[in-house]
Chain A
Amino acid sequence: MSDDGTVVEARSLSKTFGRLAAVRSATFAVSRGEIFGLVGPDGAGKTTIMRMLAGVLRPDEGDIRVDGVEVLREPERAKRHLSYMPQRFGLYEDLTVGENIFFYGELFGVTKTERQERTSRLLEAAGLVPFQRRLAGQLSGGMKQKLGLICALVHTPAVLLLDEPTTGVDPVSRREFWSILYDLRETGVTILLSTAYMDEAERCSRLALLSAGAIRYCDTPARLKEQMPGALVSIPSSDPRRVRALLSGQPGVLGVLLMGDRVHVRVDNRDRRTPELARLLAAQGLAGALIEPAEPGIEDVFVALLGGQEAA
């Protein structure tokens, strides 16, 4: 860790596969105790960045420091300071829950008492205590991910790298997963995770928004929302697609986004455009549609900041 509290530092990371530039000059720094989220659609380069940070993939260019160790120069030393949980379940399905935990504990040189103490606490938190003798391959998706997290935490990493840890995980397991992460942050572990879920991005202390391999914005969720141009109104509707079709491209409308049974409309001036939108909808037989001001979520921000640029 350097003096300013930076634990992970990536400088102009680039990686090309054949002709595809998977990551383009990504630069960011993560401080001790942060939960840092890499957010972007599939193919934005999240996994490639995670793999390079974990020391299992060499960048074409750039530098990485993890807990004061140059990852490119001393990948094996850096690996002692971090735990990595790949996107695809990486544990042994033909070993039991307990055997997997034991295996990773031994690889990281954890003492027996340490392992037992930590394992029982984590199994408890993850609700996996009754499943210790079950083969990992016979666990549900959510249980597998929690087991992955336990294996990653059986030693004390300075940095925890989680690549889309909650993809395909049920809401209950997801909540347990996040509560473990929050507890962990209290102990000073720095967490980097990638996600395609916007509600999950909301829980991070800082976010990097990725698009086509490049980090376009990097800030706290609150400040990213401030950067969103325009203001948001929300229109509940039984036919949101029709509303979207009606409002797209109208004067003053910067963007229209479907959010379940609501339509989020980003306008240049909320006070001026709200009555205009109401008139427009009324003219199309949608009179009385409720148009309420709304606070933007990360998804709105993401689309506002990156969607437009991609379309242009």
Chain B
Amino acid sequence: MNGRRVRAIAVKEALQVWRDPRSLAVALLMPFMQLVLLGYGVSLDIKHVPLCVYDQEMSQQSRAVVDGFVSSGWFRLARALPNEAAIRTAMNRDQCSAVLVIPADFSRRLAMTGRATLQGIFDATDVNTTNIAMGYAAGATAQLQSTFEAKYAAAHGLTPSAVGSVDLEPSTWFNETLDSRNFIIPGVVAVILALVGAQLTSLTISREWERGTMEQLISTPVTTLELMAGKLTPYFVIGLADAAFCLGAAIFWFKVPFRGDVSTLFVTTALFILVVLGFGYLISVRVRSQLGASQIALLVTLLPTTLLSGYTFPLDQMPAPIRAISLVVYARYYVSILRGLFLKGSGLADLAAPLAGLCVSALIILWLAARAFHKRLD
């Protein structure tokens, strides 16, 4: 490798990016827009689930139940329903995604036996939301339960512990507020860097073919490795800047707690950027038109990274064959590293497995990219 030639290519490439509004937009505007879109648009927290209530009893007790649900903050009272037929109508018109039915004998049963049943009906067309809403409902019910148990015990001259069941007190670690944003934002950063990185370099070789500059370039003594190193250098700098922007926004704007070590963050991020740039370069070598290369880079990065990187969909819940496929989705390693660094404050030793995955990806992709280019027209 001749340092002068690498530098000449890097300088030339940097000048071209600087003078090409399209490249600049991809480099600087795209991460910003994606961060806004994904950072705000994607949230797995469902607050204020619209709730309709069909209260058959209409007593003080039943109103206390409804208040209990609403005051939990998870539900919002959408409508009170007059009869059973109205339940279906309300569901069909999307006025609510959950219906609480309070039976007419609710208070009587509670007073007599200390137990009573509420009916919850959930719109399960969106399974994910339903699961969460059901969880919230269970939580709200549990709170009501303890209040009623205390009352019942007092009324019957019993100590609360004699009636009260053993309650599970859940304790959440690492993401104490159970804010899904803390979990998602580091993943969003990984997805954005994977997308932008591949876009950046996907144009670099195809541009030379398309503009007819490749023929003269390959007639010079520049080697394929020098070409790759020179071409990746300016994009590496841009990639690091994009990473600094996204990670900075995650920490200071989205307020995701960062508990790890900054130098570990830097090293792993640099490695990841190298992988995504190498991948874009590989596509660029294979596809000789700029449009084609950029489309392919988008397609083969977007779907796998959003679906199989574990950024929203947990990988360990997937069937084995799909889990196996996800091993080549290099973004998953960076997603785990970022989550570890942000939420757990993991050190290098804790991150050994995903770090190894990232290193192997880097080696394979850069090796393929270096080999893919031939200094020939045919």
Contacts and interface: CB of A to CB of B under 8 A. Distances in A.
A79 interface: yes
Interface in B113-133: none
Contacts of B16: 92, 94-95
A90 interface: yes
A99 B18 CA distance: 14
A86 B212 CA distance: 9
A124 to B, nearest CB: 23
Contact of B219 (A54, A88, A89, A94): A54
A94 B13 CA distance: 10
Given A83-B219, A103-B11, A107-B221, 6 more contacts: A57-B376, A76-B223, A88-B215, A89-B212, A91-B213, A109-B5
Interface string B136-151: 0000000000000000
A278 B312 CA distance: 94
A217 interface: no
A103 B219 CA distance: 14
A40 interface: no
A109 B2 contact: yes
Given A56-B375, A58-B378, A79 B219 contact: yes
B4 A95 contact: no
B12 A103 contact: yes
Contacts of B219: 54-56, 79, 82-84, 86
Contact of A107 (B8, B211, B212): B8
Interface string B18-38: 011000000000000000000
8 contacts: A51-B377, A58-B378, A76-B221, A80-B221, A84-B216, A86-B212, A86-B216, A106-B5
Among A51, A75, A82, A107, residue most surrounded by chain B Cβ atoms (within 10 Å) = A107
Of the four ranges (under 10, 10 to 19, 20 to 34, 35 or more), the interface on chain B belongs to 20 to 34
Given A57-B377, A103-B8, A79 B216 contact: no
A79 B221 contact: yes
A160 to B, nearest CB: 11
A108 interface: yes
A106 B4 contact: yes
A57 B378 contact: yes
A182 interface: no
A85 interface: yes
A131 interface: no
Interface string A31-74: 00000000000000000000100111110000000000000000
A104 interface: yes
B324 interface: no
A19 to B, nearest CB: 16
A94 B218 contact: no
A268 to B, nearest CB: 46
Interface string B357-370: 00000000000000
A106 B8 contact: yes
A93 B211 contact: yes
A223 B20 CA distance: 53
B15 interface: yes
Given A56-B376, A95-B12, A90 B221 contact: no
B344 interface: no
B7 interface: yes
Contacts of B218: 56
Interface string B205-217: 0000001111111
A103 B5 CA distance: 9
B212 A58 contact: no
A70 B221 CA distance: 15
B158 to A, nearest CB: 86
Nearest to B227: A107
Contacts of B328: none
B20 A94 contact: yes
Contacts of B221: 76, 79-80, 107-109
Contacts of B220: 79, 104, 107-108
B222 interface: yes
Nearest to A92: B213
Nearest to B223: A76
B213 A90 contact: yes
Contacts of B217: 90
